């Protein structure tokens, strides 16, 4: 419907204060708000209704209207109950930003306007478009026989000629239409789209996000859990949800779509979110099992009691298994700068995505893991078939590096410079007696990963025999004192003279003390390198020809 129709409806009692030339704008919905910045809840085309509680002084009007105009709202209705007449500064701001402004009589409830607009907009979407949406809704709400999101995407292809896929935040394909020409997306394209989506969501850009990848243009729509759709949940920090939301990728440029088609795609994402919630609910039993086992392990319960819970878990995670499985433990931690956000639930969602079908031979994913969380840490119990080692003598199971091979880029984009994900993977154990040790081993491996640079890092139990195992367990105050004693004189000298002593020291140690190789790497004359090394020794009182001093410098650089 058009704004003009609202103005001409006497029952609404709207009075136009400015923007007459913009009255042909289309209204796609209504939002009532008194937030100073409601941008995260706007998708464009709304009639915004406000009681003006956000306005403390005249300067607030310019900021508020600028945000609405940037979000593409259709118009603004200001209630007269709070301040009486609508302030002149708000009228002037709307004129500057070409935003139609209505005064809402204090005798008219915002709910009356909202109900009228919703009824009119719904009526205008009758016919073929409504029929398609109704078909989608029936498919999604008819239970498992409805086919889930695949059926919805098939309808997009058959009714609107749109190729579309649903992806996890880590870029794992969840669903795709099966029509002619709709082949599965290659893994590298899935990863690229997920990375673009997470980066755009973290910066607050409005959806759909239009990106080009490998010669094709895609429009990306977030699929948010309906359980987080409004109220207090909607006000949560974006970092709490962005790494768990699915996305709908449509091979098309939504920039020139009519509003009706955009509305349809937004509706489709809401329908797919029903399937997302259904899958989350299905994980509840596995999460509870993991939490119970974890509590038993951490409280020192008897192995027999832990074994009893594992016997309950095994048929749930590996149905039809004839023998008791082996188990691996994966520990993940998500940490945000500032520490004000609990990372455990985010880490739990990520582990459930990363560990889906890690070892299955078939193409269809199957949830076989149970993940609990406590604080900033998530802990997964991964059952493995009780098989012998392979022909090379390698132990079967998950490898830390392979877990992150395809998800590192997307998750790094979602962490966006202020978060870290670190994972540790244990060796496999075949009994409850070994589970406590596996948990500690996975935690130790995660600390090794945390000592490495990068936003997304993992370490496995194989690495715990290395010297790097020692570094994460050195107390912070000892680490700081040790590195400061050795490296601060060099850093201070570099700041004053730009001498690059620290890079020279790193290269010298990396070249095993070879003067020629180090000079070649740094593109220096050997005499210049000798001068720099001599300066390092003079400033620190150490001798780089001695193994002990080389080792001290090596450890200091690793811990800095």
Which pLDDT tens digit goes with each residue over 417-435?
777 888 888 888 887 778 8
Same domain, 451 and 551: no
Q: Give the percent of the chain with pLDDT over 90.
A: 19
Structure tokens given for 293 = 């086992």
Report the pLDDT value the prediction gives residue 368, as an integer from 0 to 100.
65
H or E segment to which residue 289 belongs: helix 284-298
Same domain, 172 and 270: yes
Of the residues 248, 280, 312, the one at which a domain ends: 280
Please report, in angstroms and rounded to a whole number, the separation of the first and last CA atoms in the chain.
62
Q: Which residues contact 21 (CB under 8 A, 6 or more apart)?
A: 98
CB neighbours of residue 560 within 10 Å = 15
Q: In total, how many domains does the chain have?
A: 4
Report the pLDDT value the prediction gives residue 135, as an integer from 0 to 100.
54
Report the pLDDT value the prediction gives residue 539, as an integer from 0 to 100.
93
Query: Does residue 444 lie in a domain region?
Result: yes
What average pLDDT is seen over the chain? Answer: 79
Report the pLDDT value the prediction gives residue 95, as an integer from 0 to 100.
94
- Strand ranges (E), 105-259: 164-167, 173-176, 209-213, 216-223, 246-250
Cβ(419)–Cβ(455) under 8 Å? Answer: yes
H or E segment to which residue 46 belongs: strand 46-50
Structure tokens given for 511 = 């070249």
Q: What is the 3-state secondary structure (H, E, C) of 323-359?
A: CCCEEEEEEEEEEECCCCCCCHHHHHHHHHHHCCCCC
Report the pLDDT value the prediction gives residue 90, as an integer from 0 to 100.
94
> What is the spatial distance between Cα 417 and Cα 249, in angstroms, rounded to a whole number?
25
> What is the spatial distance between Cα 178 and Cα 533, in angstroms, rounded to a whole number?
65
Q: Which residues contact 366 (CB under 8 A, 6 or more apart)?
A: 356, 357, 360
Distances (CA, A) of 69 to 39, 42, 460: 10, 11, 51
> What is the spatial distance between Cα 294 and Cα 374, in angstroms, rounded to a whole number?
10
Q: Mean pLDDT over residues 92-113, rounded?
A: 91
Domain span including residue 268: 144-280
Band the pLDDT of 99: cuts 50, 70, 90.
Answer: very high
Same domain, 109 and 20: yes
Q: Is the pLDDT of residue 473 over 60?
A: no
Q: Mean pLDDT over residues 383-398, rounded?
A: 54
Distances (CA, A) of 211 to 166, 208, 509: 16, 10, 44
Same domain, 378 and 417: yes
CATH number of the domain where residue 498 is located = 1.10.10.2840
Cβ(48)–Cβ(77) under 8 Å? Answer: yes
Report the pLDDT value the prediction gives residue 366, as an integer from 0 to 100.
47
Same domain, 148 and 227: yes
Give the model confidence (pLDDT) of 491-541 as tens digits: 999 999 999 999 999 999 988 888 999 999 999 999 999 999 999 999 999
> What is the spatial distance between Cα 204 and Cα 51, in angstroms, rounded to a whole number?
25
Task: Find, among 371, 423, 456, the residue nearest to 195 by Cα.
Answer: 456
- Per the DSSP assignment, residues forming a β-bridge with 249 are 165, 220
Query: Does residue 136 lie in a domain region?
Result: no
Distances (CA, A) of 93 to 16, 60, 101, 316: 15, 10, 10, 60
Q: Which residues contact 549 (CB under 8 A, 6 or more apart)?
A: 542, 543
Of the residues 433, 466, 499, the one at which a domain ends: 466
> What is the spatial distance between Cα 421 and Cα 400, in angstroms, rounded to a whole number?
13
Query: Does residue 156 lie in a domain region?
Result: yes
Task: Find, among 414, 425, 480, 429, the residue nearest to 449 by Cα.
Answer: 425
Distances (CA, A) of 492 to 32, 229, 496, 533: 57, 52, 6, 16
Same domain, 434 and 352: yes
> What is the spatial distance between Cα 72 and Cα 67, in angstroms, rounded to a whole number?
9
Report the pLDDT value the prediction gives residue 143, as an integer from 0 to 100.
43
Report the pLDDT value the prediction gives residue 493, as an integer from 0 to 100.
94
Q: Are strands 370-374 and 377-384 parallel, antiparallel or unpaired?
A: antiparallel
Task: Find, among 265, 259, 247, 256, the residue nearest to 133 by Cα.
Answer: 265
Report the pLDDT value the prediction gives residue 526, as an integer from 0 to 100.
92
Q: Is the pLDDT of residue 10 over 70?
A: yes
Query: Does residue 456 lie in a domain region?
Result: yes
Distances (CA, A) of 198 to 144, 168, 457, 477, 489: 29, 11, 18, 36, 41
Query: Does residue 137 lie in a domain region?
Result: no
Report the pLDDT value the prediction gives residue 91, as an integer from 0 to 100.
94
Q: Mean pLDDT over residues 400-410, rounded?
A: 74
Q: Are strands 29-32 and 46-50 parallel, antiparallel or unpaired?
A: parallel
Give the model confidence (pLDDT) of 271-309 as tens digits: 788 777 777 777 787 788 888 888 888 888 888 888 887
Same domain, 209 and 262: yes
Same domain, 490 and 461: no
Report the pLDDT value the prediction gives residue 487, as an integer from 0 to 100.
92
Query: Does residue 471 lie in a domain region?
Result: no
Task: Find, among 199, 153, 146, the residue nearest to 173 by Cα.
Answer: 153
Same domain, 248 and 327: no
Q: Is the pLDDT of residue 12 over 50?
A: yes
Report the pLDDT value the prediction gives residue 386, as an integer from 0 to 100.
58
Instruction: Look at residue 382 and give its three-state secondary structure.
Output: strand
Of the residues 422, 443, 466, the one at which a domain ends: 466
Cβ(542)–Cβ(550) under 8 Å? Answer: no
Same domain, 524 and 538: yes
Query: Does residue 191 lie in a domain region?
Result: yes
CATH number of the domain where residue 54 is located = 3.40.1390.20
Query: Does residue 139 lie in a domain region?
Result: no
More confident residue, 179 or 4: 4
Give the model confidence (pLDDT) of 42-87 as tens digits: 888 889 999 898 988 999 999 999 999 999 999 999 988 777 789 9
> What is the spatial distance between Cα 167 and Cα 422, in angstroms, rounded to a whole number?
22
Same domain, 388 and 483: no
Same domain, 67 and 114: yes
């Amino acid at each position: 419907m058009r704004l003009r129709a609202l103005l001409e409806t006497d029952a609404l009692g709207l009075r136009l204060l400015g923007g007459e030339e913009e009255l042909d704008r289309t209204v796609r919905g209504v939002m009532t708000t008194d937030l100073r910045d409601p941008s995260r809840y706007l998708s464009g085309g709304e009639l915004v209704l406000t009681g003006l509680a956000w306005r403390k002084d005249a300067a607030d009007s310019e900021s508020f209207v600028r945000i609405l105009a940037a979000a593409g709202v259709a118009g603004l209705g200001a209630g007269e109950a709070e301040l009486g007449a609508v302030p002149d500064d708000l009228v002037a701001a709307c004129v500057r930003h070409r935003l139609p402004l209505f005064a809402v009589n204090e005798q008219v409830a915002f709910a009356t306007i909202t109900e009228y607009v919703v009824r009119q907009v719904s009526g205008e979407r009758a016919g073929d478009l409504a029929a398609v949406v109704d078909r989608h809704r029936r498919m999604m709400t008819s239970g498992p026989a409805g086919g889930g999101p695949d059926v919805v995407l098939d309808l997009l292809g058959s009714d609107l000629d749109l190729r579309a896929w649903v992806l996890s935040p880590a870029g794992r394909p969840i669903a795709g239409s099966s029509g002619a020409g709709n082949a599965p997306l290659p893994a590298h394209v899935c990863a690229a789209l997920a990375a673009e989506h997470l980066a755009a969501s973290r910066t607050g850009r409005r959806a759909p996000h239009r990106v080009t990848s490998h010669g094709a243009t895609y429009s990306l729509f977030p699929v948010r859990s309906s359980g987080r759709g409004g109220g207090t949940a909607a006000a949560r920090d974006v970092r709490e949800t962005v790494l768990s939301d699915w996305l709908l990728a449509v091979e098309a440029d939504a920039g020139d779509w009519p509003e009706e088609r955009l509305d349809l795609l937004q509706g489709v994402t809401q329908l797919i979110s029903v399937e997302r919630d259904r899958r989350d609910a299905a994980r509840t039993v596995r999460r509870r099992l993991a939490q119970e086992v974890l509590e038993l392990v951490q409280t020192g319960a008897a192995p027999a009691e832990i074994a009893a819970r594992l016997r309950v878990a095994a048929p749930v995670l590996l149905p039809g298994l004839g023998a008791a499985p082996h188990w691996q433990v994966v520990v993940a931690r998500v940490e945000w700068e500032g520490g004000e956000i609990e990372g455990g639930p985010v880490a739990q969602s990520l582990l459930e995505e990363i560990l889906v079908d890690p070892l299955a031979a078939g193409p269809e994913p199957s949830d076989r893991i149970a993940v609990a969380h406590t604080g900033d840490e998530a802990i997964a119990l991964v059952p493995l078939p009780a098989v012998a080692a392979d022909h090379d003598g390698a132990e079967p199971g998950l490898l830390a590096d392979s877990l992150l091979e395809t998800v590192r880029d997307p998750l790094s984009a979602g962490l966006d410079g202020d978060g870290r994900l670190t994972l540790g993977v244990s060796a496999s154990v075949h009994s409850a007696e070994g589970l406590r040790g596996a948990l500690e081993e996975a935690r130790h491996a995660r600390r090794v990963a945390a000592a490495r640079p990068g936003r997304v890092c993992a370490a496995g139990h194989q690495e715990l025999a290395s010297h790097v195992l020692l570094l994460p367990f050195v107390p912070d105050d000892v680490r700081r004192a040790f590195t400061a004693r050795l490296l601060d004189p060099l850093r201070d000298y570099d700041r004053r003279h730009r001498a690059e002593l620290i890079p020279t020291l790193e290269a010298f140690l990396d070249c095993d003390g070879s003067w020629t190789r180090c000079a070649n790497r740094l593109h220096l004359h050997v005499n210049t390198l000798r001068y720099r090394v001599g300066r390092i020794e003079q400033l620190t009182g150490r001798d780089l020809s001695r193994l002990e001093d080389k080792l001290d410098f090596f450890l200091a650089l690793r811990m800095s």
